[in-house]
Structure 1
Amino acid sequence: MLLLLLLLLVLRAVTEDDLDSNEDDDDVVDDLPMFYPKTEEEKQRIRDIVENSFLFSSLEAEDLEVLLGAFKELKVPKDTTIIEQGADGDKLYLIEEGEANVYKKISPSQQQQQDKKSVQQNEQQSEDKQQQQQLVNVMVAGELFGELALMYNSPRAATVKSKTDMKLWALDRQTFTLIVRDAAAKKREIYEDSLKEVELLKDVDAYERAKIADALKTRVYEEKEVIIKEGEEGDTFYLLLDGEAE
């Protein structure tokens, strides 16, 4: 059996988002994740989103069950700021229903460049408009946001506001750290060590290598299964983690 890493060469916008400050931090007691009862249908909807994320792909089945139980349902009205750029992050969110706008602050110089062709904008900018927010993405049901701030202990890199009424599932930082981050960190370490051996990537710095590692997907091939065919257009390269190929 072959264990291969699959890297899809597709550019993808990744949004790090800010955290909501209206939720209590009592979700974890004595280092044990809280449990919020859910129907089987709700658990499956959360599972469908979670299993598509690199961060959760390292979890064993029992850890995944604990994780599903720890997600807390949130109903968010339209035009609510869910997370704010620059704030500390203590939760990540899954969107079950609704849409959210993602905004990033842009500097005055960036704003001037964008407004170059607009008439007489320069002199009318007031000092309290030092940084303006620009819409960079719209997130929909099935997407996850806020995870990178928890993973890297960094401030939120964008502001997320509800475009419609929304139903979210929130996971607190402590549960994320207990169950997810350690497993993902170990998996990334294995991936990064493999990437260091790739001649094509020898000049890539540590940060970029970590980002590539985050984009890797694991795929298992059975014996004699065809991985690539001569003459086919290729948009993927593979790292062999375990087994042999010919």
Structure 2
Amino acid sequence: MSEVLDAMFERKVEEGELVIRQGDDGDYFYVIEKGTFQFFITGEDGEEKILGEYTDSGSFGELALMYNMPRSASVRARSKGSLWAMSRQTFRKIVLKRAFLKRKVYEELLEKVEMLKSLESYERMNLCDALTPKKYSDGDLIIKEGDEADGMYFIEQGTVRVTKTNEVNEMNF
């Protein structure tokens, strides 16, 4: 973490400033310290489609650096703000190495999931990047029957016990 923080520099932005332009080469990864930033794509007809915005937290710009592709969207400052930036070279050296190792482990895990076998490799990589590891101790309740679904779980390591309640509230194992 200290290596990452030492490698970043502050960039002040003004309201309306275009931080990233769709189609440009990726040059920096950004972490938002302060300000509101709007993400949008411009269609072939020139119309802007707003994808979302972050205020006072979040990060952006990593996909173009990770996949060595042009920027897939534009980012505009909607207020004065402050970003912390990391160059492509530093990002690739520090972050990409760790992300690559994580993705490799998760790709191997997802390749074993029958319902995900129809995904394209690129889609599976995006899913790998979105996975967040969670640790549970023996006996912890991960999900409870009847709860509203809030995600999907993959077992990376360990064993889980699945139970279901029948009509007389007895547990079937």
Name the TM-score, length of structure 2 as normaliser. 0.86
SS of 2:38's equivalent? strand
Match of residue 54, structure 2, among 136, 139, 160: 139
**Cα distance change, pair 136–233 in 1 and its aligned pair in 2 (3 A):** closer
What letter corresponds to residue 95 of structure 1 in structure 2?
I
**Alignment length, in residue pairs?**
161
Counterpart-to-counterpart distance in 1, 2:118 and 2:25: 33
What letter corresponds to residue 169 of structure 1 in structure 2?
W
What letter corresponds to residue 205 of structure 1 in structure 2?
E
**Cα distance change, pair 236–101 in 1 and its aligned pair in 2 (3 A):** closer
Are 1:190 and 2:128 counterparts? no
Q: What is the match of residue 30 of structure 2? A: 93
1:137-180 deviations in Å (ceiling 9; x for gaps)? 23211011111111111111122221111111101111111111
Q: What is the match of residue 71 of structure 2? A: 156
Are 1:72 and 2:9 counterparts? yes
Counterpart-to-counterpart distance in 2, 1:161 and 1:238: 35
Counterpart-to-counterpart distance in 1, 2:96 and 2:121: 19
Are 1:208 and 2:145 counterparts? no
**Cα distance change, pair 134–205 in 1 and its aligned pair in 2 (3 A):** closer
Q: What is the match of residue 95 of structure 2? A: 180
Q: CA RMSD for the aligned pairs?
A: 1.5
Counterpart-to-counterpart distance in 2, 1:203 and 1:161: 36
1:41-70 deviations in Å (ceiling 9; x for gaps)? xxxxxxxxxxxxxxxxxxxxxxx1110111
Gaps of 5+ in 1: 1-63, 109-130
CA shift, 1:102, in A, is: 2.3
Q: What is the match of residue 11 of structure 1? A: none
Higher helix share: 1
SS of 1:171's equivalent? strand
Counterpart-to-counterpart distance in 2, 1:234 and 1:139: 25
CA shift, 1:190, in A, is: 0.9
Bigger RCO of structures 1 and 2 (CA < 8 A, at least 6 apart):
1
**Cα distance change, pair 70–229 in 1 and its aligned pair in 2 (3 A):** same
CA shift, 1:185, in A, is: 0.9
Match of residue 106, structure 1, among 22, 37, 43: 43
Counterpart-to-counterpart distance in 2, 1:190 and 1:166: 37
CA shift, 1:100, in A, is: 2.0
**Cα distance change, pair 69–233 in 1 and its aligned pair in 2 (3 A):** same
Q: What is the match of residue 121 of structure 1? A: none
What letter corresponds to residue 148 of structure 2 in structure 1?
E
Gaps of 5+ in 2: 162-173
Are 1:84 and 2:21 counterparts? yes
What letter corresponds to residue 64 of structure 2 in structure 1?
A
Name the TM-score, length of structure 1 as normaliser. 0.62
Counterpart-to-counterpart distance in 2, 1:231 and 1:76: 47
Counterpart-to-counterpart distance in 2, 1:70 and 1:234: 39
CA shift, 1:75, in A, is: 1.0
